[in-house]
A and B are shown apart, each in its own frame.
Chain A
Amino acid sequence: MAREKPELVYGTLDMLILKSLQHEPRHGLEIADRIQQMSKEILHVEQGSLYPALYRLEARGWVKGEWDVSENNRKARYYKLTAAGRKQLLAETEHWSRITRGIDLVLSAS
């Protein structure tokens, strides 16, 4: 297991999941792949930890899961971003960029 890859910053998984669903519905495995791919393999998601997060997001009404058949003919639960989820993604993205900008400023101050 690629332990050398950095752990996620606490609390960012939800945001990353929402982002990974921005363009199309995906199932769990695809979400993990997509995050890894988008981060150019820098971020690694522990597969199992996706599920508690997905259920949390679903309970809040940000994503909606539906059973479907995957490209290799397996049953899979596809998660889709809801309108509320889209709004939430926007808000979190903005929030995150403000924080990172702030942190950058702090760190780059002489």
Chain B
Amino acid sequence: MPKLHSWFSRLLGLFRKKNGEAEMAEEIRQHLEGLIDRHIADGMSPGDARNAALKEFGGVEQIKEAARDERVWLSADQLWQDLRFGVRMLWRNPSFSFLAILCLTLGIGTNAAVFSWIEGILFHPYPLVEHEERMFALTGTTRGATNIGLSYPDYLDFQKNCTLIDSFIVDRIVGTTLSIGDRAERASGGLVSANYFDALGMRPILGRGFNPEEGTGRNAHPVTVISYEMWQNRYIGDPGIIGKTQYFNGVQHTIIGVAPEKFYGTFVGYAFQFWVPTSMQETFDSTGYKLEDRGDRWVEGYVFLKPGVSAQQAQDEISAVAKRLESDYPATDRGHGIQLLPLWKTPFNGAAAIFPTLGIALAVVVFVLLIACANVSNLLLVRSLLRRQEMTVRLALGAGRGRLVQQLFTEGLILAAIATAGGIAVAHWCRNALVLAFPTPAPGIIINYPGAIDWRVLALSAGVCVISTLFFAVVPAIQASKVDLVGALKTESGGVVGGHGRSRLRSGLVLLQVSLSFVLLAGAGLLLQSLQRIQNASPGFATRDVITAGIDLFSAGYKLDRAKTFKDQLLERVRSLSGIESVAIARVRPFSYSNYSNATIAADGYQAAPDQLPTADYVEVSEGYFATIGIPILFGREFTRNDDENAPPVAIVNETMAARYWPGKNPIDQRLQVKDKWMQVVGVAKLSNYRTKLEPPKPFFYVPMRQHPFVNCGLIIRTRLTPGAMMTVLAQEIHALDPNIVPVDTITMQEQVDRMSYSQRLAVTLLTVFGGMALFLAAIGLYAVMSYAVSQGTRELGLRMALGAGAADLLRLVMSRGLVLTAGGLVLGTAVALSLTRLMGSLLYQVSPRDPLAFGSAFVILTVVALAACFVPAWRATRINPVQALRS
């Protein structure tokens, strides 16, 4: 392809103009000097020789001008010509161009969007952090479980003893009621170590970060750094904000700094609005003071490695320190370690929750890209065949092969360029779309899943499309060059039935499309069924006729005594309302975002392995809890009003816990040790879900709230009232008790449960959208191929008609070819899907990866679409006028 080379050299020539200019001048000067030398040698005087040479050469400037045209403008002109011609050709066939561009745009755009999510959420979550590449997430471990925190004293010891680590930072999410003037709102922020901003390399744009001493002392430093957004929204960008105060949880805090714009903290998924130092822990945690308790593991955080230190080296050192702590503090640290994880693997924030969904989305968009490429290739191939005669004529008229290739190449480039631009636009619009898919889990939390448009990935997806487009765009020219001119000019024949070389390629592409679409549809079907099962599955408690509400007494400044009185009065008042069956209080409501209590436990007669420290989650509940929420008590009894501080301590365990700690025994009246307190098991509750429906059965127990007092208050009400009506009544009752308190989040239990299945719903949405897209693309592909086959087989069809074939015969003939392709694609797709759906494991719920219903519906949908795509061309075939067809 000689012209291809010149095309590039010309393109380069456009940029090299300046350089070429000097070269040209030099070359001409040397030429003239040569002529002058020659004339002098012939005996002329230098002056005469120069004049003669100039005369002989011709007007230097005119010649330069002419040469310049050749070098630059002529080539630019030809490129321009190609571009114009390309655009004209695309314009002449708008439906083709539109489809091709649409397919490519969807393919490139969706890929770029999903890659940008992955980039933004998993790999580059904190773009403003200075040394993100040295930042690792920190998690406590025990018995292989990694979703626990560290205790604060342990954290300090690690910080002191690890030499390979630059800094340890604490970052624990806290919610608060924020009061500014007479307005009170919920807000979420981070309880962070004093070195937080320094370690991140983050300089507040106003004021300062925390001083080292602000991290120490119990509640000694009520200072806060607020986010740029809070500064703008709440304080309207007040430049004199530093030194002003605001109330968090009723405690006056001084604003000492404003974080830079677009800094949302270091918690994937949420945008934090403020930061306070760890010394203020007790103010923000309703479960008490923990800075000196080695057994209470609540610290979540990150480390920055020293430059040049590998994660493995740092991990080795940390593990060694952890071993020392285990032997120094066996009572609290036995069996506990800590582990460094890449940022995207941290179990504490939104990254972990969204990971499987992003994986599926990635697989799906790659499929869509493949389908789009196959589709455009197919369209181009079909068109190239339609243009074969044009190519042949142009060759016959003397156009160089290279010139044709160059022309088609340009056309392909135009297509790909427009589609890439469209793809970037799609990705840009979609980069923050993920936020829409997530419900706000609780008031005051701002969801933030930003995508970072990743140019590397954009270039990759665009590159794949451009290459495949160009390849298939150039094919016709290459083929045309092999064409025997005379033969090709005479007739361009093809059959509906027969197929050779090229049509096999086309069929292959259709096969690919159909099979990939099948995989996507089957996957979507599986997820849809999972979602349905999840929604239908019982969490083990009643979701109908149960309403929950949260009352934040802690941030209203209540202490234990006042909270107890308030709760007793509230229970009383609500119970006496009409339409209320029963009411109960729990510190943490099921499926809420708050953490359950966790404690080390021991049981009579249960021998733990020597290196293990059994722990279990538990919750403090009021009397009537089980009846209200609808968890059956299998043995024994439920808590009563009499299980108070004067009565012997009691607990109710769930089935799993009973089976693990007292296997084969009746657990009633057995003794359970929680921390250092022994209590008596009085009942066994049926297993239920505590956080999500997907969690495995785990030991869990309940303790009465009167023996384990707490401040905050989750209300659970069994009633036939609607949430709206309930909220009004509840607000009135609470107002009567304390006008400063309003219930937050009054919703049905069903709603509460649904909020936790968002990752399944998101996956279903993504797969449905992309699956639909794939189906659409596959239909276009099939339609294009069948239309082409019919248009090329016009003569054959005409002949068959002339020989007596009826419309029904033709219809059958054309359709059968399309359906054979479809059937092949379905078989292939089934095979691929069967091997791929196994990988969806974690997102499937009680659905077999080979579920016949999902596969069956994919089968039916694709068949129907294929029938429709084949029918139009087939129907057109029956309308052929046989006389005209034969004459043409």
Interface assignment of B443: CB less than 8 Å from any CB of chain A = no
A51 and B34 alpha carbons, distance in the complex (Å): 15
| A49 proximity list for chain B (CB < 8 A) | 58, 63, 66
Interface assignment of B67: CB less than 8 Å from any CB of chain A = yes
Interface assignment of B35: CB less than 8 Å from any CB of chain A = yes
From residue 29 to 69 of chain A, which have CB atoms closer than 8 A to chain B?
Answer: 29, 46-49, 51-53, 55-56, 58-62
A58 and B27 alpha carbons, distance in the complex (Å): 14
Which of A17-25, A74-82, A98-106 faces chain B? A74-82
| A75 proximity list for chain B (CB < 8 A) | 26, 30
Interface assignment of B13: CB less than 8 Å from any CB of chain A = yes
* Cβ distance B68 to chain A, nearest Cβ, rounded Å: 8
Across the interface, name the chain A residue whose C-beta is closest to B26: A75
Across the interface, name the chain A residue whose C-beta is closest to B66: A52
Using known A-B contacts A52-B67, A56-B70, A59-B71, determine if residue A84 contacts B34 with beta carbons closer than 8 Å: no
Across the interface, name the chain B residue whose C-beta is closest to A2: B56
A74 and B33 alpha carbons, distance in the complex (Å): 9
Interface assignment of A1: CB less than 8 Å from any CB of chain B = yes
State whether A48 touches B58 (Cβ < 8 A).
yes
Interface assignment of A12: CB less than 8 Å from any CB of chain B = no
| A27 proximity list for chain B (CB < 8 A) | 30-31
State whether B34 touches A74 (Cβ < 8 A).
yes
* Cβ distance A46 to chain B, nearest Cβ, rounded Å: 5
State whether B31 touches A47 (Cβ < 8 A).
yes
* Cβ distance A41 to chain B, nearest Cβ, rounded Å: 15
Using known A-B contacts A28-B31, A51-B24, determine if residue A59 contacts B75 with beta carbons closer than 8 Å: yes
Interface assignment of A72: CB less than 8 Å from any CB of chain B = yes
State whether A61 touches B24 (Cβ < 8 A).
no
State whether B30 touches A74 (Cβ < 8 A).
yes
Report how many residues on chain B are interfacial, defined by Cβ distance under 8 Å.
34
Main secondary structure of the interface of B (DSSP, over half): helix
State whether B6 touches A61 (Cβ < 8 A).
yes
A59 and B4 alpha carbons, distance in the complex (Å): 11
A61 and B402 alpha carbons, distance in the complex (Å): 11
State whether B34 touches A76 (Cβ < 8 A).
yes
Interface assignment of B37: CB less than 8 Å from any CB of chain A = yes
A74 and B30 alpha carbons, distance in the complex (Å): 7
* Cβ distance A105 to chain B, nearest Cβ, rounded Å: 22
Of the candidates B6, B31, B57, the one whose C-beta lies within 8 Å of that of A60 is: B6
Of the candidates A60, A62, A72, A77, the one whose C-beta lies within 8 Å of that of B27 is: A77
Interface assignment of B5: CB less than 8 Å from any CB of chain A = yes
Using known A-B contacts A29-B34, A59-B74, A84-B2, determine if residue A52 contacts B9 with beta carbons closer than 8 Å: no
Using known A-B contacts A47-B31, A51-B28, A52-B70, determine if residue A59 contacts B58 with beta carbons closer than 8 Å: no
Interface assignment of A93: CB less than 8 Å from any CB of chain B = no
* Cβ distance A58 to chain B, nearest Cβ, rounded Å: 8
* Cβ distance A11 to chain B, nearest Cβ, rounded Å: 13
Interface assignment of B431: CB less than 8 Å from any CB of chain A = no
Interface assignment of B3: CB less than 8 Å from any CB of chain A = yes
| Most chain B CB atoms below 10 A, which of A56, A59, A70 | A59
Across the interface, name the chain A residue whose C-beta is closest to B10: A59
Across the interface, name the chain A residue whose C-beta is closest to B56: A47
| A84 proximity list for chain B (CB < 8 A) | 2, 5
Over the window 9-44 of chain B, the binary record of Cβ atoms lying under 8 Å from chain A Cβ atoms (1 yes, 0 no) is 110010000000001101110110111010000000
Across the interface, name the chain A residue whose C-beta is closest to B5: A61
| B26 proximity list for chain A (CB < 8 A) | 75
Of the candidates B13, B28, B58, B74, the one whose C-beta lies within 8 Å of that of A46 is: B58
State whether A56 touches B58 (Cβ < 8 A).
no
Q: Interface residues, chain B, CB within 8 Å of chain A?
A: 2-3, 5-6, 9-10, 13, 23-24, 26-28, 30-31, 33-35, 37, 55-60, 62-64, 66-67, 69-71, 74-75
Contacts A/B (CB < 8 Å), 10 sampled? A28-B31, A48-B60, A48-B62, A59-B70, A60-B6, A74-B33, A76-B27, A76-B30, A76-B34, A77-B23
Q: A46-B58, A47-B58, A48-B63 provided; 18 other pairs, C-beta below 8 A?
A: A1-B55, A47-B57, A48-B57, A48-B59, A48-B60, A49-B58, A51-B24, A51-B28, A51-B67, A52-B70, A55-B71, A56-B70, A56-B74, A59-B9, A59-B10, A62-B2, A74-B34, A75-B26
Q: Interface residues, chain A, CB within 8 Å of chain B?
A: 1, 27-29, 46-49, 51-53, 55-56, 58-62, 70, 72, 74-77, 84, 87
